[in-house]
Structure 1
């Protein structure tokens, strides 16, 4: 019963943050892909630096009471075992992803100071299987999640760029992390992060329904447009809970005469049309 109440609450919260100018406002709850089933990690692939794919070293990623958890209680010492858990759905190019998260407890011993109350949604990422054995972070865009320290301002919904770059206000940005305009969220409160991305053209970050960042021309460091990829959640040394992870695909048949036409699509996939 407890899981059912959490699931219902998450659905209500996520539904409330769909903006009128977002394609999500045209879709119903059943149109979303639930990346996390609330039961287990069967739809995910784990990759931790220094371990083979699907070796869930130290039980880092787990499910408890319908929540996907990142935990470090079984680590004796942290030695750069940065982890990621990749959704087996995808790849995607045009989509909205909504994640409800919170930070809990204390950072793992020996974790770097910059990683305290720090995690992220890695998107347009390479696959888990293509990462090298010791690779810390996948090539991707990172929708950075940060928690407040109880006193100072610290925005969330920021952007970090592992082996990637973007354009903001017409200027190519090569700084690794770029802050958003979000509020600061202290303690263990739940926060809803939403990303809307259209291939390599534009990405919009929203926190609790409020737009906090927008950028264009998503690209690799060599200038190649980054059109799409997979979705991953980070394990970056601080215990984190993910209560809901869902995705609305914005690419599909845009012919209104087709049976599978959807009003929220922004990118056409003519080959998918059914008549």
Structure 2
């Protein structure tokens, strides 16, 4: 009898440890705190000028987008059905930046932006969607995107889908938390715990993840991905 109890206890312990390992392996950091392993840079100015600086650096264990020259830092791997947990801040002047999900064809828009859906981080606009040769739908589309005849996903079209809140961001200089959940053809975004946008009928379900250099310095201290 004692042997059966011991075997059961051991089996339970092994199962529990395995379950914990699987749970932990589902969540991992996209950034190792030391270098840009797992990412590649796509900055048009660096193609033209061999002396152009890389706008993406490591500083004090953080990943930093210096803002210029403009371009993108893109994951080598592609992802599908995940939750991305990001801590970011503008340490100086307010400005523009974003996280691009389901990124694919490079420089598909304005010879700069990869085909994707952008989740905006621009100060006072965090959580807006921008359609970049991909599309997303939300409720009350005309209210949040403008007249239907102006909608589009390429140059000159109305590509912005406004978020749901105006007061979810912390004061300039403080850290913000953004959570982006991509599941099949849907996307949800939270900023500091508030649900700020929710879209459906995405025209893409997987792809790379990209960070922008778009004119303003932004610090990232957390970039964790959880597979769903």
> TM-score range with shorter-chain normalisation?
0.7 to 0.9
Q: What residue is the counterpart of 2:100 in the other structure?
A: 122
CA distance in 2 between partners of 1:204 and 1:138 (Å): 21
- Structure 1 gaps of 5+ residues are 1-26, 73-77, 107-115, 148-153, 220-225, 251-275
- 8 Å Cα contact 1:47/1:56 also seen in 2: no
Deviations 1:141-199 (A, max 9, x none): 0010022xxxxxx2311111111221212758633112212324331110011111112
What pairs up with 1:1-275 in 2 under 5 angstroms? Answer: 30-52=25-47, 57-71=52-66, 81-89=69-77, 91-106=78-93, 117-126=95-104, 130-131=106-107, 135-147=111-123, 154-169=124-139, 171=141, 174=151, 175-182=158-165, 183-200=168-185, 202-219=186-203, 226-250=204-228
Cα distance, 1:28–1:188 mapped onto 2, change above 3 Å: farther
TM-score normalised to the size of structure 2? Answer: 0.74
Cα distance, 1:146–1:29 mapped onto 2, change above 3 Å: farther
- 8 Å Cα contact 1:46/1:56 also seen in 2: no
SS at match of 2:79: coil
- 8 Å Cα contact 2:102/2:117 also seen in 1: yes
Cα distance, 1:56–1:140 mapped onto 2, change above 3 Å: farther
CA distance in 2 between partners of 1:145 and 1:159 (Å): 10
CA distance in 2 between partners of 1:236 and 1:120 (Å): 8
Q: Which has the larger radius of gyration?
A: 2
SS at match of 2:35: coil
SS at match of 1:50: helix
Deviations 1:110-145 (A, max 9, x none): xxxxxx511000010016xx447x821111000100
How many aligned positions are there?
191
CA distance in 2 between partners of 1:184 and 1:63 (Å): 25
- Structure 2 gaps of 5+ residues are 1-21, 146-150, 152-157
SS at match of 2:200: strand
Cα distance, 1:56–1:38 mapped onto 2, change above 3 Å: farther
TM-score normalised to the size of structure 1? Answer: 0.62
What's the CA shift for 1:29?
Answer: 5.2
- 8 Å Cα contact 2:169/2:192 also seen in 1: no
Q: What residue is the counterpart of 1:270 in the other structure?
A: none
CA distance in 1 between partners of 2:169 and 2:193 (Å): 15
Q: What residue is the counterpart of 1:75 in the other structure?
A: none
- 8 Å Cα contact 1:48/1:57 also seen in 2: no
C-alpha root-mean-square deviation of aligned residues, in Å?
A: 2.6
SS at match of 2:137: strand
SS at match of 2:225: strand
Tell me which protein shows more helix as a share of its residues: 2
- 8 Å Cα contact 2:116/2:134 also seen in 1: yes
SS at match of 1:238: coil
